[in-house]
Amino acid sequence: MAYEQWGIGIVGLGGISNMHLTAYRNAGLQVVGGADIDPARVETMKVKWDLPIATTDVESLIAHPEVKIVDVTAPHFLHVREPIFRLAAKYGKALYVQKPLEQYYASARKLVSIAEEAGIPLMVNQNSVFVPGFQVIERYLRDGAIGTPYYCQIENRNWFDLSGHPFYGKGERWVLSDMGVHHLALVVHWFGSWRSAYAIMGRDPSQKGVVGDTWSVMNIRFESGMQACIINNWSYFGHLRRPHSVEEVVIQGDGGAITATSEEVVIVAQEPPAEIRPRFTGKWFPDAFSNAMLHYIQALDEVKPHLCSGRHNLQVVALIEAGYRSAQEGREITRAEIMGEDA
String marking each residue 231-260 x if it binds ligand NAD according to CB under 6 A: ------------------------------
How far does Cα 32 stand from its chain's mean position? 24
Of 159 and 285, which CB lies nearer to ligand NAD in the complex structure? 285
Binding to ligand NAD by residue 210, rule CB under 6 A? no
What's the closest the beta carbon of residue 177 comes to ligand NAD, in angstroms?
Answer: 9
Spatial distance between the Cα atoms of 332 and 343, rounded to a whole number of angstroms: 16
Diameter of the chain measured on Cα atoms = 61
Q: Are 247 and 169 in contact (CB under 8 A)?
A: no
Spatial distance between the Cα atoms of 93 and 80, rounded to a whole number of angstroms: 18
Question: Which of the residues 43 through 62 are near ligand NAD (CB under 6 A)?
Answer: 58
Of 159 and 198, which CB lies nearer to ligand NAD in the complex structure? 159
Of 151 and 167, which CB lies nearer to ligand NAD in the complex structure? 167
Binding to ligand NAD by residue 68, rule CB under 6 A? no
What's the closest the beta carbon of residue 203 comes to ligand NAD, in angstroms?
Answer: 19
Question: Which of the residues 147 through 166 are near ligand NAD (CB under 6 A)?
Answer: 166
Spatial distance between the Cα atoms of 110 and 113, rounded to a whole number of angstroms: 5
Spatial distance between the Cα atoms of 123 and 240, rounded to a whole number of angstroms: 35
- Which one of 24-32, 33-41, 207-215, 232-240 is the stretch in contact with ligand NAD (CB under 6 A)? 33-41
Q: How many CB atoms lie within 10 A of CB 268?
A: 15
Spatial distance between the Cα atoms of 124 and 315, rounded to a whole number of angstroms: 12
- The residue number with the shortest CB distance to ligand NAD is 14
Closest CA to 94 of 123, 136, 130: 123
- Which one of 11-19, 134-142, 209-217, 246-254 is the stretch in contact with ligand NAD (CB under 6 A)? 11-19
Binding to ligand NAD by residue 11, rule CB under 6 A? yes
Of 13, 21, 112, 338, the one binding ligand NAD (CB under 6 A) is: 13
Of 96 and 194, which CB lies nearer to ligand NAD in the complex structure? 96
Q: Are 70 and 17 in contact (CB under 8 A)?
A: no
Q: How many CB atoms lie within 10 A of CB 177?
A: 27
Spatial distance between the Cα atoms of 235 and 203, rounded to a whole number of angstroms: 8
String marking each residue 95-114 x if it binds ligand NAD according to CB under 6 A: ---xx---------------
Binding to ligand NAD by residue 89, rule CB under 6 A? no
Of 30, 55, 127, 158, the one binding ligand NAD (CB under 6 A) is: 127
Closest CA to 87 of 58, 121, 56: 58
Of 75 and 132, which CB lies nearer to ligand NAD in the complex structure? 75
Of 27, 78, 80, 118, the one binding ligand NAD (CB under 6 A) is: 80
Give the DSSP per-residue string, 1-27. --GGGS-EEEE--STTHHHHHHHHHHH
Of 41, 109, 173, 335, the one binding ligand NAD (CB under 6 A) is: 41
Closest CA to 256 of 143, 146, 151: 146
